[in-house]
Amino acid sequence: MAVPWLHEMSWPEVEAYLQEKDIVLLPVGSTEQHARHAPLGTDTFIAARLAEEAGQQADVVCAPPLHFGWSPHHMVLPGTISIEAPILQGLVFQIVKSLAHHGFRRFVLVNGHRIANLPWLQLAAEQAQRELGVRVVIFDPAFMQKEIVPALGFGKVGHAEEIETSQLMHLRPELVRIDLAVDSEPHPQALYEPDPNFAGDTLCYVPSTLAQMERVARTTGGSTGQPSKADAALGQRLHAHLVKRLGQVISQL
């Protein structure tokens, strides 16, 4: 299948696909500030390309990317669009419900906005499985890159840090202004670490307060981490790892 995007197919093509398969990928991102060096669509671009490449390799269709996520903490900088989580849960449920109506039964939610999107994606997935009798899994880079991030020399998951900046430099180099990237000093908080790969004991993730984010905006322009260490070749290796993992998820579903 040359074109995996549902919205680039005609309905007879979708009908023919459903004769063979019942699986669909749904990329979910955000429109939120990614400091001065990366675009607001970073999370969506990453999720969409992961879905597109894995979909092409596995001959699996991709639903149109959802460009909006839960980003209340990023409202301190212009351009960010934050949708309330219950609305997002309902929106993804409605997308799954529509596609299930036509015969899709297996869904992979490909998340580009990492831990901030997960609470409502999990609720939407559970609701869909319970009410519609479909199967839904969530593919999240922050959990699916654990095995490769140390080898690439990246630090912790932050925001617009070297991890996602590297991946975007590989995917959309024309959109990254790495000369504008500003690194931040780590500000450890007692018993709290937002990186899901952190080995120690930690409280769970809660989006930062606006006061905390205003401090980040003032010091780095909106990033946390070491984005100046971003590198397109490392981003290519990270991206290839994630596409391979997504392919495994598709084949096991």
- Give the nearer residue to Zn ion in terms of CB position, either 125 or 157: 157
Q: How far is the CB of 167 from Zn ion (least distance, A)?
A: 10
Q: How far is the CB of 42 from Zn ion (least distance, A)?
A: 5
- Give the nearer residue to Zn ion in terms of CB position, either 17 or 165: 165
Burial class (CB in 10 A: 0-12, 13-18, 19+), 106: middle
Q: How far is the CB of 29 from Zn ion (least distance, A)?
A: 8
- Give the nearer residue to Zn ion in terms of CB position, either 55 or 158: 158
Neighbours of 15 (CB within 10 A): 12
- Give the nearer residue to Zn ion in terms of CB position, either 42 or 145: 42
How do strand 61-62 and strand 106-111 relate by DSSP bridges? unpaired
Sequence letter at residue 138: I
E-assigned strand segments in 91-172 = 106-111, 135-139
Among candidate residues 64, 68, 66, 83, the one with its CA nearest the CA of residue 31: 68
CA distances 244 to 45, 121, 140, 240, Å, are 18, 22, 13, 6
Q: How far is the CB of 14 from Zn ion (least distance, A)?
A: 31
Q: For binding to Zn ion (CB under 5 A), which residues are involved?
A: 42-43, 164
* Tokens found for residue 79: 């351009």
N-to-C CA span, the chain:
19
Q: How far is the CB of 43 from Zn ion (least distance, A)?
A: 4
Q: How far is the CB of 231 from Zn ion (least distance, A)?
A: 17
In the complex, residue closest to Zn ion by CB? 43
Given a contact cutoff of 8 angstroms between Cβ atoms, the answer to whether 45 and 174 are in contact is: no
- Give the nearer residue to Zn ion in terms of CB position, either 162 or 164: 164
- Give the nearer residue to Zn ion in terms of CB position, either 23 or 163: 163
* Tokens found for residue 74: 């990023």
Q: Please report where in the chains the tokens 């429109």 appear, as a residue.
A: 31
Neighbours of 110 (CB within 10 A): 30
